[in-house]
Copies of this chain bind each other. A is one copy, B any other.
C-alpha cells in the first residue's frame, strides 16, 4: 500500500472506578469523574494526540466528539475511543491520577482495552506497535491483567485486555460493538463534503437520526471526508459511530450500551445502513443478563456467513465475538 492512508480501527479504553472510602465501593457525589475540570481532560487528550471538536452534557454523561473519535465520561467510568495514530494508552496513568485526586477514586474496578487488528501496524506509535507491547505497557500499570485474542491471528482478529477480578461496583452494563470493513462505496459517498454539505445532513441521509429517535446527537463531518457522532440516550445510555469512507481502507464502527434486547434489530439496521463486506460483533454482558445460547441461535444475517464465533466467560462478564463475511453474490 502506498499513498494516503488512515487507520480507522479505534483503540477503545473503558475504565471503571470505585472507592474504598465508602461501604461496598459505592460512589457519592464527590466521587464523580465529571468533577475533573474540562481543561484538564483536554490536556490528557493532547497526550493522546486528540483535540476536542464538540462537547455536551446530559444529566448522566459528558460527551466529547474528538478529532480522532470520542470520549464519554460518566460518574464512575469513562470511555475513550481513538483512531488513527493516536497513543491512547498514554491517557491511562494520567486518568488514574485525576480520578484519585479529583474524585477520591482509589480503586480501579475494571478496565477493558480492546481493538481490532490494525490494517497497517507499522504506522502506529509506541506502545501501539503490537498487542504484545500494549499488554506489557498495561501490565506495568495494573495487576492481574488478562490478555485475549479473539478471531484468527493470521486473518482478522480482535484484542482484549481486562482485569481478572470481581468488580465491587455496577455489573449491569452491556455493550454492543460492530466493526465493519469493505464498505459499500455508494453508502460511503454520504460522508464526503463533496456530496453532503453538513454533519446534520449526513446524519439524516444515512438514517442515523432514526436509530434511536430519542437521542441527542452530536455529529461532525470532516474535510474532505469522514464522520463522527456521539448520541446521548436516557439513563446513561449512548451510541457512537465513526466512519472512514475511503474505499481503499474503509472502516465503520458502531458502539452502544443500549439494552441487550435491542442488539439483533440494531445490527440489522446498521448492516442495511452501511452494507459492509465483512464485520465483527462483540457483545459484553453480565453473565446473568446474557443468554449465550439464545445468542448462538440468534444473530444470523441472511446475506452473511458467520465465519468465527467465540465465547469467553470472564469473571463478571460474558463476551461474545463473531466475525461475518458477505456471501459471494
Contact = CB atoms under 8 A, between A and B. Distances in A.
Contacts of A151: 148
A245 interface: no
A9 interface: no
A153 B164 contact: no
B148 A135 contact: no
Copies in the complex: 2
A308 B310 CA distance: 13
Given A309-B312, A312-B309, A313-B310, A154 B164 contact: no
Contacts of A36: none
A309 to B, nearest CB: 4
Interface string A4-25: 0000000000000000000000
A198 interface: no
A149 B153 contact: yes
Interface in A121-153: 131-132, 135, 139, 145-149, 151-153
Contact of A152 (B132, B147, B309): B147
Contact of A153 (B148, B307, B308, B312): B148
A307 B135 CA distance: 19
B139 A147 contact: no
A153 B151 CA distance: 14
A310 B131 CA distance: 20
A155 interface: yes
Interface string A237-268: 00000000000000000000000000000000
A296 interface: yes
Contact of A154 (B147, B155, B311): B147
A164 B307 contact: yes
A155 B154 CA distance: 21
A154 B146 contact: yes
A292 B293 CA distance: 9
A135 B153 contact: yes
A135 B307 CA distance: 19
A145 B154 contact: yes
Interface of A: 131-132, 135, 139, 145-149, 151-155, 164, 292-293, 296, 307-313
The 7 tightest CB contacts between A and B, nearest first, are A309-B313, A311-B311, A149-B149, A147-B154, A147-B153, A146-B152, A310-B312
Given A145-B154, A292-B296, A308-B312, 17 more contacts: A135-B154, A139-B154, A146-B152, A146-B154, A146-B308, A147-B154, A147-B155, A148-B151, A148-B152, A148-B153, A149-B153, A164-B307, A293-B293, A309-B313, A310-B312, A310-B313, A311-B311
